[in-house]
Amino acid sequence: MHTVLCGHAFGEPREYVRAAADKGIDLVTFTCHVPMRDTESFSGEGIRMAIEELPLYRELVADAREYGESIGVEVLYGIEGEYFPDESKLTEQWQLLETEPFDFVLCSLHHQLPVFRRWLQQFGAPEAIAEVYFEQVTKAAQTGKYDSIAHPDLIRIYNTIPPFEPETQERAIKKMLAAVAASNTCLEVNTSGLIKQIFELHPAPSILAWAAELQVPLTLGSDSHRPEHVGQHFPEVLELLRSLGFEKLHYFRQRQRIAYAI
C-alpha cells in the first residue's frame, strides 16, 4: 500500500487500514516508494517521497499502526525499493535498507522511468528488450538485498515495448524464477495488474504456473494507491493460486519471512 507522499496515491493511511478491516484483512504493510537522491535516474513529478520526508513516512505508518491496533489490523512498515542496471546508483539506497527498521522490502524495476527506458531501448527489438529486462530482474534477485520482487513482468505494460505473451520469453522468465528461488527471495503476486492496461495479474497466470513448478515462494499485495484498492481481487486470485498448487503465502516482519496457509 502507498501513501500520498509518493505523489500519485490518494487517501490517508488510516483510511487504508479501515478498508482492510472492512474486508476482513488483519495484516497490511505500507510499501511507499523509496526516496532516491539521484532524481535524474529515479524520479520525476509525482513518483516518490523526498529523502527529507522519510521521517514523516515513518510517523504516518506508526499512526496507522496505532489505529490498526484499535480495530484489529496489524500494520507493518515496508518500502518499495528500486533496482537499476548500474548498481553504483543503488549504494545509498542499499545502505538505507540496512539501517531503516523496515519490516519488508520490495524490489521494483521501473522500466518506464526515462533513464531506465533509454537504457533498455539501446538493445533494439522488443524481444531483445524484454529478454534484457528479465535478465535484470534475475540480477536483482541475486543481490539478496530484497525480500520480494514486485510486479516482476511489469515490462509487459507501460509502453516501453508492445505487450507480449509470457510464452515468447519463457527461457528468460524461467531463468529469472530459478534465481528468485535460489536466492530465497519471494515473488510478489500483485493484483493491481487487473486494473491496468492489459488487465492481467502481475505476474501473468502462466508465469505463476512456472513459479509453482519451481516452488517459488510468494507474497501477495494489492499495490493500493487508493483505500478502495486494498485487497482488490484477492478472492479470485487466491482461488487461482490454489488451482496452481500453491498452499501458502508469506509476509515479512522485521525482515523475517513468515508463512501462512492460503
Mapped onto helix, strand or coil, the DSSP state of residue 186 is strand
Structural contact between residues 3 and 30, judged by C-beta atoms closer than 8 angstroms: yes
CA 258/CA 119 separation, integer angstroms: 36
* CB-count exposure of residue 155 (10 Å: 0-12, 13-18, 19+): buried
DSSP-derived secondary structure letter, 202: B
Distance of CA 209 to the CA centre of its chain: 19
Candidates 161, 237, 239, 163; CA nearest to 196 is: 163
Residue 8 identity (one-letter amino acid): H
pLDDT at 44: 66
Grid cell, residue 17, equals 487500514
Candidates 108, 103, 111, 117; CA nearest to 62 is: 103
pLDDT at 213: 97
- pTM as predicted: 0.96
Cα torsion through 206, 210, 211, 214, rounded to 10: 170
CA 164/CA 152 separation, integer angstroms: 14
State pLDDT tens for residues 35-52: 999 988 998 668 899 999
Residues (pLDDT < 70) of the chain are 44-45
Q: What is the CATH number of the domain that holds 190?
A: 3.20.20.140
User: What domain range is 148 assigned to?
Assistant: 4-261
pLDDT at 12: 97
Mapped onto helix, strand or coil, the DSSP state of residue 130 is helix
Number of domains the chain is built from = 1
Bridge-based pairing of strands 104-108 and 27-33 is: unpaired
Report the length, in residues, of the chain.
Answer: 262
